[in-house]
Structure 1
Amino acid sequence: MPVVAWGPTAFIIDRIEAVESPSFSSGRAVFRTTTPVVMKASGMDDSGVRTTRQAWCLPGEPEWDVYVEGNLRRKAETLGLDRDVTLDRVTWAGPKRSFAVGSANGPGGKKPGACVEVSLSGSPQTLSALHSWGLGQANSAGMGWVSL
């Protein structure tokens, strides 16, 4: 296919080159994203009452680590891989950035996120797949892409 339409943008394809994910044979990986990672939180207050449906969280905020780790495990399970993957720590976080996104049901809104560098551990096959998939939510929209 010589042209790929991504929203209102058309990309002309001159060449495609497959890039293999690293093997992560040690069972440990460091991922640094080139685009912000977006992650929804619970939207609950300290008493456990849900106050909002659109509770975005950023690296360093209380729920971020738990929700990112759960997201990684769901991705592994979706692919039929070992879901025992652990977010060991966030080693760097960039500034908050927000992006306007469209919606099939209306005007959409903004998704806030931040580029991050994280240390992960898990099976080599799972880490390799996650490297290709990305971190956080909205990966198909360009969020949370891991650099090579």
Structure 2
Amino acid sequence: MTILIGDPTSEAIERKSVEEGAPGVMAAKIRQVQQYYKRLDGAPGVKVRYHDTTLYNSIYRFDDEMLVNMHVLGFPAPHAPVMHLRRLNGGDLFGTYADSFDRVLAVSAIQPRGEVAARQRPVVAARWRPGDRRVGRRDGSPGDSRGDRH
């Protein structure tokens, strides 16, 4: 099993967080997930790696099926569409996303690049103003408890 997570010290993570209207939140979520994944250290066949690429989607692959959570500018991942894909003869959509995962894996690292010592990146201030799009459910409620996976 290979798990790819966005590097919490990367500019791509902070940019995504600002775009969602919550500076610093995505890095904090990743650090929280890291605590759970530390339990996997030394587990046979499990690799946790970090990347600093732009976050276009989250991919969850299970053999010949995958879920692709497409990221939408200004919305947290739990509020964005998810495609359920199956590998089909003659189809190339599954392969396109599998290749994307492999390209990110090829440039990933064993640990976040900035995590030699626990350090916090400066947070870029962003402010919500009246007229900005509301992030949440279409019915105006704040959202649900589902978390992001990166």
How high is the TM-score relative to the length of structure 1?
Answer: 0.25
Between Structure 1 and Structure 2, the one with more helix by share is 2
Higher strand share: 1
Query: TM-score, length-normalised on structure 2?
Result: 0.25
